[in-house]
């Protein structure tokens, strides 16, 4: 069966009715690959790609609300630098035209570039169900363990909320210039109260933040010494593993390096700590 | 009807002036296979599926990298709905063995498996899905044997032997002069060890094809690189006479050596023989393709070079261990090519080279673009940079001091003439210097720029006395066009155009009047393989010889018609005319009609079979190991992020002496493609194994370059007539890859001050090199 609801309400009804039996699909850039590899064998689809309401970006009270169906191509046009650059680093043009931020969050891969940028931005995610309504939870609480998330079987991701105007930076290390899976990626953002967040991809089972290191930064004006301390702390905080894409030692070192590089850029580009133009 | 139209048109044309000469050799004639490839109408192996397949095959592969097979139970597979047959070694009529040089690779394993790609059974079913279900139900019982995962394990005392003779498959050596003494008397002696990686061909067009047996002829539509040899191997394995097998090459999307070994042909043939009258289809997935196919040899190269204070090279001692994987494939030839190219285009009076091929339970290793010469260039060019640095000499000046010149010998003792390596290097460096080098001035402190160079040589053809020949036939058709018949396969390199242009040049025909039939064992004669950079030279020569002979017939007939001596006639644009009096003319079409009635055959065949000489085994010396040598030089400029190890190639210049560019655009295409593939090898490509299992059998984790990784390649075509080549041409297929890798490594060395010795230089390896981090390195191959 292939269900293609045109409204989010219908989608929630179907989701509630079909539960885990239906494979939710939007851009299909993860689902179809998994099918081709035989990792999943769906018999029933719930396709969200017909729902225009979740393909929009809205402004709300100092925040941006990104519908779950917003594509990376759309995000690539945003001014929020870390999310823009992360989005433009995803796959190639075809993938960016199809792949959605909701799909990225639902897949919850430790290499999910969108997830890492959103974590640094302190995003909240909106999970909705027919019977229980909507709930906003911090994205950081949404990721539980390897590919395990807070999303219930009757829920869909509806939207993500990020601050409107943070200062932020992004860097992804991969093995080539495009269609490039992260070896390590790092996102930082700092809001007007100098609340600073660091997030990393590929250094553990889930996309993650570095709360201890981030805490050192909060409310502080960036300085070279502070940045060094934070970078050192990051190396202790993350827990990467060896895999065939790269070693734990390299990834750990890169977390420090990228932290230092990105924070230094934030400091140098804008010593007073103003918001991005 | 058609006849009439033709007559009217040619009548009109009778009055028109003859178009000026259009030399096909040297002209970038549009690729005749271009339009259908670009518009998607070309039929590749997998495209034959929906059209013609009636039954589908699937291959059962080993679950163990090394094991004895104790039982094969097909009962459950045969119970799958739609499965019509499951065939094992017991069903194979012939030797059930293939292998390009040694016959050692069972088509369907019976007693033992030596790598995870080993095939055990072929399932035939009504649908592809049923064939795969059946495949998964075949029950094979194994008695596992210790897995030899690395060369180090293979040569360790008491290692489990893959073959009764042991794990060392063979060796090749070079002995020249007195290395011991020369090193002792050298001003500097530099030693380093290089580790090159296992590389996959990663061609686009995954193995796929069809087979059909009508009771008389087994017809296989399968892409290979040498249809006539494949036919012989299939015949032996299946126990069928050669003449009962016909192979037709579908349009082919790349090969790079990866289609030299037998792939799906024997499985398809076996399935077809068992299901007479049905067209059987078989295609791999990318992961099956990567798990089954042979790979480029990973080499460990221990190099010691000595030089005098003035920079003159004195001696080289080189020990190579080569991971041959489970079966021999073309390994022996790769080892020999590695040995004979161990010191590249440099004059080294005293040389000792020992190459050992070592069997492991990894995939067999065999042909891939560069064929052993590629890995050695990484080592010898790496050494040139290291010695220049040790002597505090300029890298280019040091190379120039030692590059061979016309009439010098290469390391096998063969005199080479002409030698254009110095010229290629000058051209590449001059091109590089056309634009100012930006250096490090404007870069942040963690970024470093560098540039480097390479100078390489390549012996063309199989060489070493291995029989190497091409046949060709050229025929005039009665509409005045000419058809070239060649067994050579077009794998994307441009062979079809090259052969048509060579023949058309001799016959004075425009490209529109040229036709070609290629790579069909029924219609064409043996032209050897599309490998070893040999087709332009070998088949090109055969085509040239046949076309020249045909030209004589055409001139004879024209002489009779025009009443002048054939020597006084010019062939141009489909006309024959009296050179001094162009109005006295006759169309080639008329000549064809006339000729056939006068009893001329208007056909010619030719065999081109030059001789090379087998090396003396103890010394590796041979006066003519290769038919001719090719030269090329590259310059590469890179930007390195010293903190992350990321490397970006900013510029890449490649100058190659191709003798004569028959089709300059095709030559440039080969150069650009070779650089792209070389960049992949230098920076990203690597098959990783764990206990014989490929950990990245797909393009998600087997990383090849994208267009974003490639700078605009600056290709320079250098032309020094090759006295033995058709119109002075030789070839260009492999050298661009060979030159690209060391030039990029040289640039990394320049940028970082650290000399790379392990490939590929992906971000982590580069970071480890820069920071001297050795520990906790799961990627390292160092032993
Ligand atoms: C060639 C290629 C390159 C890629 N490169 C990158 C890259 O560089 N970086 C990166 O991060 N990713 C990359 N990806 C992965 C993929 O594109 C992203 O994860 C993308 O965000 C998935 O979005 P989608 O809409 O296509 O998801 P789909 O495939 O449609 O769905 C993915 C998962 O999300 C679920 N889902 C989708 N929408 C919702 C929803 N609203 N509510 C609940 N569940 C939902 C689905 O059930 C499924 O489990 C790449 C993929 C490919 C094929």
Report the residue count for chain A.
277
Look-up: residue for tokens 């992360």? A86
**Does residue B8 surpass a pLDDT of 90?**
no
Answer yes or no: do A92 and B763 touch at CB < 8 A: no
* Test the A interface: residue of B447, B644, B647, B684 with most A CBs within 10 Å: B644
Clarify whether residues A151 and A192 are in a common domain: no
**Does residue B1 surpass a pLDDT of 50?**
no
Domain that holds residue A41: 2-49+57-163
Map out the domains of chain B with their CATH numbers. 9-30+470-608 (3.30.365.10), 46-145+207-283 (3.90.1170.50), 299-463+616-782 (3.30.365.10)
Q: Is residue A73 part of a domain?
A: yes
CA distances from B456 to B425, B429, B654 (A): 10, 14, 11
The predicted-structure confidence for B58-88, as pLDDT tens digits, reads as follows: 999 999 999 999 999 999 999 999 999 999 9
CB distance A33 to ligand 1 below 6 Å:
yes
User: Where does a domain end: A128, A163, A198?
Assistant: A163
Q: Is residue A9 part of a domain?
A: yes
Give the number of C-alpha atoms closer than 13 A to the C-alpha of residue B33, restricted to the C-beta side: 22
- Judged by a CB distance cut-off of 8 A, whether residue A31 touches chain B is no
Model pLDDT, residue B93: 96
Mutate which of A12, A15, A19, A29 for ligand 1? The one with the most ligand atoms within 8 Å of its CB, which is A29
The predicted-structure confidence for B86-143, as pLDDT tens digits, reads as follows: 999 999 999 999 999 999 999 999 999 999 999 999 999 999 999 999 999 999 999 9
Clarify whether residues A109 and A171 are in a common domain: no
Q: Is residue A275 part of a domain?
A: no
Identify any residues that bridge with B747 across adjacent strands, giving them in sequence order: none
Model pLDDT, residue B5: 32
Q: Going by C-beta distance under 8 Å and a sequence separation of 6 or more, which residues neighbour residue A32?
A: none
Task: Report cis status (omega within 30 of 0) of the bond before B760.
Answer: yes
Q: Residue A109, class by beta-carbon neighbours within 10 Å (0-12 exposed, 13-18 middle, 19+ buried)?
A: buried
**Does residue B503 surpass a pLDDT of 80?**
yes
Q: What's the structural domain count of chain A?
A: 2
- Judged by a CB distance cut-off of 8 A, whether residue A244 touches chain B is yes
Answer yes or no: do B778 and A242 touch at CB < 8 A: yes
Answer yes or no: do A175 and B703 touch at CB < 8 A: yes
CB–CB of B318/B303 below 8 Å?
Answer: yes
What does the DSSP 8-state code read for residue A246? B
CB–CB of B633/B692 below 8 Å?
Answer: no
ipTM > 0.90, yes or no: yes
CB distance A156 to ligand 1 below 6 Å:
yes
CB distance A12 to ligand 1 below 6 Å:
no
Q: Is residue A221 part of a domain?
A: yes
CB distance A48 to ligand 1 below 6 Å:
yes
Across B278-424, the runs of DSSP E, i.e. the strands, are: 279-283, 295-296, 299-307, 313-325, 350-359, 365-366
Clarify whether residues A34 and A133 are in a common domain: yes
Q: Whose CA is nearest to atom 31 of ligand 1?
A: A103
Cα first-last separation, chain B: 76
Question: Which residues of chain B have a CB within 8 Å of the CB of A245?
Answer: 701
User: Where does a domain end: A110, A134, A163?
Assistant: A163
Task: Count other C-beta atoms under 10 Å from residue B13's C-beta.
Answer: 13
- Judged by a CB distance cut-off of 8 A, whether residue B254 touches chain A is no
Clarify whether residues A82 and A216 are in a common domain: no
Mutate which of A87, A99, A104 for ligand 1? The one with the most ligand atoms within 8 Å of its CB, which is A99
Q: What is the DSSP string of B673-710?
A: HHHHHHHHHHHT----EETTEES--STTTS----GGG-
Query: A33 alpha carbon to ligand 1 midpoint, in Å?
Result: 10
What does the pLDDT profile of chain A (277 residues) look like in tens digits? 999 999 999 999 999 999 999 999 999 999 999 999 889 999 999 999 999 999 999 999 889 999 999 999 999 999 999 999 999 999 999 999 999 999 999 999 999 999 999 999 999 999 999 999 999 999 999 999 999 999 999 999 999 999 987 899 999 999 999 999 999 999 999 988 888 999 999 999 999 999 999 999 988 899 999 999 999 999 999 999 998 889 999 999 999 999 999 999 999 987 554 444 3
Q: Is residue A218 part of a domain?
A: yes
> Which candidate, B302, B342, B344, places its Cα nearest to that of B320?
B302
**Does residue B193 surpass a pLDDT of 80?**
yes
Distance CA B694, CA B700 (A): 13
User: Where does a domain end: A163, A178, A197?
Assistant: A163
Clarify whether residues A150 and A187 are in a common domain: no
Answer yes or no: do A178 and B762 touch at CB < 8 A: no
CB distance A74 to ligand 1 below 6 Å:
no
- The region of weakest confidence among B242-251, B496-505, B594-603, B643-652 is B594-603
Question: Which residues of chain A have a CB within 8 Å of the CB of B696?
Answer: 244
Starting at the earlier edge strand, list the strands of the sheet with A196-201. A167-173, A184-190, A196-201, A208-209
Model pLDDT, residue B218: 98
Clarify whether residues A115 and A185 are in a common domain: no
Task: Count other C-beta atoms under 10 Å from residue A146's C-beta.
Answer: 11
Query: B177 alpha carbon to ligand 1 midpoint, in Å?
Result: 63
- Judged by a CB distance cut-off of 8 A, whether residue B706 touches chain A is yes
Q: Is residue A277 part of a domain?
A: no
Helices (H) and strands (E) in chain A, counts: 11, 14
Q: Which two tokens stand for residue A208?
A: 């993650």
Helices (H) and strands (E) in chain B, counts: 20, 32
Look-up: residue for tokens 């650089």? B675
Q: Is residue A276 part of a domain?
A: no
CB distance A207 to ligand 1 below 6 Å:
no
Starting at the earlier edge strand, list the strands of the sheet with B713-718. B447-459, B629-641, B647-657, B713-718
- Judged by a CB distance cut-off of 8 A, whether residue B707 touches chain A is yes
Look-up: residue for tokens 């090379």? B612
Model pLDDT, residue A194: 83
Model pLDDT, residue A94: 97
Distance CA B427, CA B433 (A): 10
**Does residue B574 surpass a pLDDT of 50?**
yes
Q: Going by C-beta distance under 8 Å and a sequence separation of 6 or more, which residues neighbour residue A243?
A: none
Clarify whether residues A155 and A175 are in a common domain: no
Contacts 24+ apart (CB under 8 A), B599-602: B600/B553, B600/B556, B600/B557, B601/B553, B602/B475, B602/B476, B602/B550, B602/B553, B602/B554
* Helix orientation angle between B421-433 and B395-402, rounded to the nearest 10 degrees: 160
Clarify whether residues A71 and A159 are in a common domain: yes
- CATH code of A188's domain: 3.30.390.50
Q: What 3-state class would DSSP assign to B725?
A: coil
Clarify whether residues A83 and A30 are in a common domain: yes
Q: Measured from the CA of A89, which atom of ligand 1 is nearest?
A: 8
Q: What 3-state class would DSSP assign to B135?
A: helix
Q: Going by C-beta distance under 8 Å and a sequence separation of 6 or more, which residues neighbour residue A139?
A: A105, A115, A118, A119, A122, A123, A124, A125, A160
- CATH code of A86's domain: 3.30.465.10
Distance CA A24, CA B355 (A): 56
* Test the A interface: residue of B132, B202, B764 with most A CBs within 10 Å: B764
CB–CB of B244/B93 below 8 Å?
Answer: no
Clarify whether residues A38 and A135 are in a common domain: yes
Q: Is residue A274 part of a domain?
A: no
What does the DSSP 8-state code read for residue B236? H
Clarify whether residues A102 and A239 are in a common domain: no
Clarify whether residues A126 and A26 are in a common domain: yes
Question: Which residues of chain A have a CB within 8 Å of the CB of B768?
Answer: 250
Distance CA A98, CA A95 (A): 5
């Amino acid at each position: 069966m292939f269900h293609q609801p045109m409204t989010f309400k219908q989608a929630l009804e179907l989701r509630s009715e079909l539960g885990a039996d239906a494979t939710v699909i939007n851009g299909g850039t993860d689902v179809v690959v998994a099918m081709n590899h035989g990792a999943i064998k769906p018999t029933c689809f719930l396709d969200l790609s017909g729902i225009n309401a979740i393909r929009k970006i809205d402004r709300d009270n100092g925040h941006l609300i990104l519908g779950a169906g917003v594509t990376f191509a759309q995000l690539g046009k945003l001014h929020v630098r870390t999310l823009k650059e992360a989005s433009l680093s995803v796959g190639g043009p075809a993938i960016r035209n199809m792949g959605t931020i909701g799909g990225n969050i639902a897949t919850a891969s430790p290499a999910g570039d969108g997830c890492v940028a959103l974590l640094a931005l302190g995003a909240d995610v909106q999970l909705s169900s027919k019977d229980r309504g909507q709930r906003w939870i911090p994205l950081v609480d949404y990721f539980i363990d390897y590919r395990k998330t807070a999303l219930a079987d009757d829920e869909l991701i509806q939207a993500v909320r990020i601050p409107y105007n943070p200062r932020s930076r992004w860097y992804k290390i991969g093995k080539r210039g495009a269609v490039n899976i992260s070896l390590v990626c790092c996102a930082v953002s700092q809001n007007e109260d100098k609340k600073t967040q660091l997030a990393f991809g590929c250094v553990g089972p889930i996309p993650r933040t570095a709360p201890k290191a981030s805490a050192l930064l909060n409310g502080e004006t960036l300085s070279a010494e502070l940045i060094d301390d934070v970078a050192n702390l990051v190396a202790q905080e993350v827990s990467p593993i060896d895999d065939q894409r790269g070693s734990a030692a390299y990834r750990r070192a890169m977390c420090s390096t990228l932290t230092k590089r990105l924070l230094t850029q934030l400091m140098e580009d804008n010593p007073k700590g103003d918001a991005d133009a | 009807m058609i006849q009439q139209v033709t007559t009217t048109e040619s009548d009109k044309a009778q009055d028109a002036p003859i178009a000026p000469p259009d030399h096909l050799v040297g002209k970038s004639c549009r690729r005749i296979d271009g339009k259908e490839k670009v518009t998607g109408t070309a039929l590749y192996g997998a495209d034959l599926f929906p059209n013609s397949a009636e039954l589908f095959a699937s291959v059962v592969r080993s679950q163990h990298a090394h094991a004895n097979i104790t039982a094969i139970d097909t009962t459950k597979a045969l119970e799958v709905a739609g499965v019509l047959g499951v065939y094992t070694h017991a069903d194979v009529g012939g030797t059930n063995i293939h292998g390009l040089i040694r016959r050692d690779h069972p088509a369907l394993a019976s007693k033992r498996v030596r790598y995870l790609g080993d095939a055990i059974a072929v399932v035939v079913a009504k649908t592809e899905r049923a064939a795969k279900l059946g495949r998964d139900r075949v029950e094979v019982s194994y008695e596992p044997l210790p897995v030899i995962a690395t060369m180090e394990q293979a040569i360790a005392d008491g290692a489990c032997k893959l073959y009764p003779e042991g794990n060392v498959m063979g060796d090749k050596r070079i002995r020249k002069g007195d290395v011991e003494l020369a090193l002792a008397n050298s001003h500097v002696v530099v030693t380093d060890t290089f580790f090159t990686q296992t590389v996959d061909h990663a061609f686009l067009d995954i193995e796929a094809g069809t087979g059909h047996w009508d009771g008389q002829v087994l017809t296989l539509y399968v892409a290979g690189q040498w249809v006539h040899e494949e036919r012989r191997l299939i015949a032996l394995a299946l126990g069928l006479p050669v003449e009962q097998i016909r192979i037709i090459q579908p349009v082919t999307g790349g090969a790079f050596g990866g289609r030299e070994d037998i792939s799906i042909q024997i499985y398809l043939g076996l399935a077809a023989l068992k299901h007479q009258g049905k067209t059987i289809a078989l295609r791999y997935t990318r992961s099956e393709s990567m798990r089954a196919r042979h790979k480029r040899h990973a080499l460990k190269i221990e190099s010691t070079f000595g030089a005098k204070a003035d920079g003159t090279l004195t001696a080289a001692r080189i020990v190579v261990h080569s991971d041959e994987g489970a079966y021999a494939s073309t390994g022996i030839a790769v080892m020999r090519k590695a040995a004979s190219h161990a010191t590249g285009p440099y004059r080294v009076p005293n040389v000792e080279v020992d190459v050992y091929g070592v069997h492991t339970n990894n995939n067999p290793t065999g042909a891939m673009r560069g064929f052993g010469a590629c890995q050695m260039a990484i080592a010898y060019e790496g050494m040139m940079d290291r010695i220049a640095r040790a002597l505090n000499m300029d890298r280019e000046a040091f190379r120039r001091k030692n590059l061979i010149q016309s009439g010098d010998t290469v390391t096998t003792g063969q005199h080479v003439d002409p030698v254009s390596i110095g010229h290629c290097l000058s051209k590449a460096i001059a091109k590089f210097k056309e634009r100012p080098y930006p250096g490090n001035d404007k870069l942040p402190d963690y970024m470093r720029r560098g540039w480097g160079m390479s100078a390489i040589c390549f012996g063309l053809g199989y060489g070493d006395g291995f029989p190497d020949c091409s046949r060709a036939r050229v025929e005039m058709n009665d509409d005045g066009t000419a058809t070239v018949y060649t067994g050579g396969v077009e794998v994307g390199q441009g062979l079809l155009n090259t052969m048509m242009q060579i023949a058309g040049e001799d016959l004075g025909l425009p490209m529109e009047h040229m036709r070609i039939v290629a790579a069909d064992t029924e219609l064409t004669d043996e032209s050897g393989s599309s490998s070893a950079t040999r087709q332009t030279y070998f088949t090109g020569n055969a085509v040239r010889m046949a076309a020249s002979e045909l030209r004589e017939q055409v001139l004879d007939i024209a002489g009779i018609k025009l009443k002048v001596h054939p020597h006084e006639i010019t062939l141009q644009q489909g006309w024959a005319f009296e050179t001094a009096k162009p109005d006295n003319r006759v169309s080639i079409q008329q000549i064809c009609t006339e000729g056939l009635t006068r009893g001329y055959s208007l056909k010619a065949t030719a065999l081109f079979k030059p001789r090379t000489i087998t090396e003396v085994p103890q010394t590796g010396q041979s006066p003519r190991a290769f038919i001719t040598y090719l030269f090329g030089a590259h310059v590469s400029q890179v930007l390195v992020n010293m903190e992350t190890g990321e490397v970006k190639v900013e510029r890449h210049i490649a100058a190659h002496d191709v003798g004569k560019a028959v089709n300059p655009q095709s030559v440039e295409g080969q150069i650009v493609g070779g650089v792209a593939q070389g960049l992949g090898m230098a920076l990203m490509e690597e098959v990783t194994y764990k206990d014989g299992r490929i950990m990245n059998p797909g393009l998600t984790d087997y990383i090849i370059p994208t267009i974003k990784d490639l700078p605009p390649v600056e290709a320079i075509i250098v032309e020094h007539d090759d006295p033995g080549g058709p119109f002075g041409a030789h070839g260009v297929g492999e050298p661009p890859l060979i030159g690209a890798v060391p030039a990029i490594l040289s640039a990394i060395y320049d940028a970082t001050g650290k000399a790379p010795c392990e490939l590929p230089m992906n971000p982590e390896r580069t970071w480890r090199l820069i920071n001297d981090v050795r520990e906790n390195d799961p990627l390292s191959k160092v032993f």
